[in-house]
Amino acid sequence: MSLKQSEAIVLRTYPLREADLLVTLFTRAEGKVKGIARSAKNSKRRFGGALEPLTWVRAYYDDREGQDLARLDSCDILESPLSTTVDYPRVVALEHVAEMLDELLPDREANDAIFRLAVSVLHQLRAGSIWMPLTYFQLWLVRLVGFLPELGTCLACGVALSGSLAYYHALADGLMCVQHKRLASSKLAPESRALAEQMFRAPVESFAEEPWAPSQCADLRRFLVQIMERHIEKKLVTAGMLARL
Amino acid sequence: MTRFAEPMARLIEELKKLPGVGGKTAQRFAFHILRASDEDAELLAEAIREVKASLRLCSICNNITDVDPCTYCTSATRNQRLVCVVEEPTNIAAIEKTRHYNGVYHVLHGALSPLHGIGPEQLRITNLAKRVESACIDELIVATNPTIEGEATATYLSRLFKSSGVKVTRIATGVPVGSDIEYADEVTMQKAMEGRREL
Ligand SMILES: [Zn+2]
Ligand SMILES: [Zn+2]
Q: Give A71-94 pLDDT, tens digit per residue.
A: 999 999 999 999 999 999 999 999
- Tell me the CATH class for A4-83: mainly beta
User: Which numeric CATH code is attached to A88-243?
Assistant: 1.20.1440.120
Domain that holds residue B160: 64-181+186-192
Q: Is the pLDDT of residue A1 over 70?
A: no
Residues B95 and B176 in one domain: yes
Residues B114 and B69 in one domain: yes
Residues B99 and B40 in one domain: no
Confidence of residue A44 (pLDDT cuts 50, 70, 90): low
CATH number at residue B30: 1.10.8.420
The reply to whether B1 falls in a domain is no
Average pLDDT over residues B174-192: 86
Query: A11 touching B, CB under 8 A?
Result: no
Q: Do B187 and A77 touch (CB under 8 A)?
A: yes
Kindly list the residues of chain B whose beta carbon comes within 8 Å of any beta carbon in chain A.
Answer: 19-20, 22, 112-117, 119-120, 146-149, 151-153, 155-156, 159, 176, 179, 183-188, 190-191
**Terminal Cα distance for chain B, rounded:** 64
Q: Is the pLDDT of residue A46 over 60?
A: yes
Q: Do B156 and A80 touch (CB under 8 A)?
A: no
- Residue-range domain boundaries for chain A: 4-83, 88-243
Q: How many domains does chain B have?
A: 2
Residues B35 and B87 in one domain: no
Residues B68 and B48 in one domain: no
Confidence of residue A16 (pLDDT cuts 50, 70, 90): confident
Q: How far apart are the CA of B31 and the nearest CA of chain A, in angstroms?
A: 22
pTM comes to 0.88
- What is the per-residue pLDDT for B176? 83
Partners of B184 on chain A (C-beta within 8 Å) are 48
Percent of chain A at pLDDT > 70 equals 98
Confidence of residue A15 (pLDDT cuts 50, 70, 90): confident
